[in-house]
Amino acid sequence: MASRDGMERPEGLPLVDLRAVTRDADRAFTRVWLLALGQRHLWIHAGVLGRLELGSRYQWLGCQYLPQVRDEEGDSAYAFRFDVVGAAVQAISDGVVTVAAWLAAEDSSRDNFCVPRVAPDLSSFPLIGGGDRKTSFTPEADERLWRALRGRRLEIDFGPVLGES
């Protein structure tokens, strides 16, 4: 399958646009790129990066749904999350931070690989008190996609939305 730039896209790699369901997409962005076939391929495009944990023992990242979407405990629910290894800041330019990492390949990371293939319809989530919508902590783990992508090199860009950029 060819991507918008005409380059071949890795088989089975979805293009997941979560901007409509993640926080502050009008003010900040998160883009996750998969490096494959000698090119960067956009995998996930979302709003503000909710969490990037770079501790030496456990590294992960994720973006949260819009504020009205909560998990079973009443906390903010994640639209996606997954473990990474070897994460390090690669560049900071014009307010955009680029982090290089690898998608965690250990079997223990499989259940933390929670990335939807398409943006969910938030109106399908059950309502709870105060007009909030309730969901699971994150999408279900996608073992098939995790097995196809584990150990692959990623670049994560995040920063402010600036005009036409």
What does pLDDT average to in each consecutive run of 10 residues of the chain (165 residues)?
Answer: 59 93 96 92 96 83 90 85 94 96 92 91 80 71 90 96 74
Q: Are 98 and 89 in contact (CB under 8 A)?
A: yes
b/e sequence 21-41, b meaning 16+ C-beta within 10 Å = bbbbbeebbbbbbbebeeebb
Is residue 2 one of the residues assigned to a domain?
no
Provide the Cα torsion 25, 119, 136, 86; round to 10°: -70
Closest CA to 161 of 66, 15, 30: 30
Q: Decide if 6 is inside a domain.
A: no
**pLDDT score, position 138:** 64
CA distance 31 to 51: 13
**pLDDT given for residue 1 in this prediction:** 45
Residue 131 domain-assigned (yes or no): yes
10, 11, 27, 63 from 145: Cα distances, Å = 12, 10, 30, 19
Confidence (pTM): 0.88
Counted domains in the chain: 1
- Give the span between the Cα atoms of 157 and 61, in whole angstroms: 12
Q: DSSP string of 56-74?
A: SS-EEEEEEB-TTEE-TTS
Check residue 160 and give its pLDDT: 96
Helix or strand run (H / E) with residue 78: strand 78-93
- What per-residue confidence (pLDDT) applies to 7? 61
11 within a domain of the structure (yes/no): no
Q: What is the pLDDT of residue 136?
A: 64
Question: For residue 3, is it within any domain?
Answer: no
Look at residue 44 and tell me if it is in a domain: yes
Range of the domain at 97: 16-160
